[in-house]
Structure 1
């Protein structure tokens, strides 16, 4: 069952790539706790060859069955969000697919071909909401090793 969800905005940096297989390199530079009212791919500014782009907005959902993963994420001292982008042949060069606070889900997305997964620090407002969610919904599950017969 899903818990609260909210929209966040994602800002990426686009630079020319030195790779012969890609024209641009991308990295997530910021997560905005409130989704901005602007078009996906909107150029926020440039500095030299680099451009800051608003990649778009996505829902971040908290799920009760994932509270253990969220707790581990928060326990690192610098909680992160995993951002999945699709590299595309568009003016912006990317499309935002998802944002998650679950490290296991973020890692699983790295196994999908053709996608880029990057991490960014979780804004404190989101970390506080996530910590409240974990405190409210976490149930410790005891691991029991099965014995072979």
Structure 2
């Protein structure tokens, strides 16, 4: 099912998280996003597979929304050696057995970087399926407009002007008109 917004396009994508036994005594489990399910139906922590203590969950289905304003970011990601999508996970204290909640799926590496700058979220990089590459590539091809570089020109500096009023008027000295005013000591004007 595809959602269409003005200047945007969206499809539902399932996020698969894997829970494996921890390797230290401080971490009982290791959680990692491992796969995407394009066009998936709604799910909330549905067990997909259990093998030797490793469990894979269909954690959530989130919309992957492409915006016309972000086509430069999508193009950048499509040109990467291994194009990826980014799942943003936040800690969830509502359940003891499931510590993460999937909150966002994006194709923009710039948006993912914004979430990486915070310690409140975990950002997982997932390989973009081939069909999604074609869908995102088609969207970029239809909507991307290359912006021309415009070099800013400086105003020509006029050195013959008289500089009235430079500095702080509270400073009576003519030696250093740029000096910051300070406390006056006894005996100074």
Q: Does the alignment reach a TM-score above 0.5? A: yes
- Name the TM-score class by shorter chain: 0.7 to 0.9
Within-5 A mapping of 1:8-27:
8-18=13-23, 22-27=27-32
Show structure 2 runs of 5+ residues with no match: 1-5, 156-189
How many Å apart are 1:132 and its aligned residue? 0.7
RMSD of aligned residue pairs (Cα, Å): 2.0
CA distance in 1, matches of 2:11, 2:24: 36
In the alignment, structure 1 residue 99 sits paired with structure 2 residue 105: yes
CA distance in 2, matches of 1:20, 1:98: 31
Contact 2:42–2:60, Cα closer than 8 Å, also in 1: no
CA distance in 2, matches of 1:86, 1:129: 28
CA distance in 1, matches of 2:113, 2:67: 17
- What residue in structure 2 maps to residue 54 of structure 1? 58
- What residue in structure 1 maps to residue 85 of structure 2? 81
Contact 1:2–1:61, Cα closer than 8 Å, also in 2: no
Higher relative contact order by CA 8 Å / sep ≥ 6: 1 or 2?
1
How many Å apart are 1:14 and its aligned residue? 1.1
- What residue in structure 1 maps to residue 180 of structure 2? none
Q: With the length of structure 2 as denominator, give the TM-score of the two structures.
A: 0.70
**How many pairs align?**
148
Query: Which has the higher Rg, Structure 1 or Structure 2?
Result: 2
Q: With the length of structure 1 as denominator, give the TM-score of the two structures.
A: 0.88
Shift in alpha-carbon separation, 1:71–1:64, aligned structure 2, 3 A? same
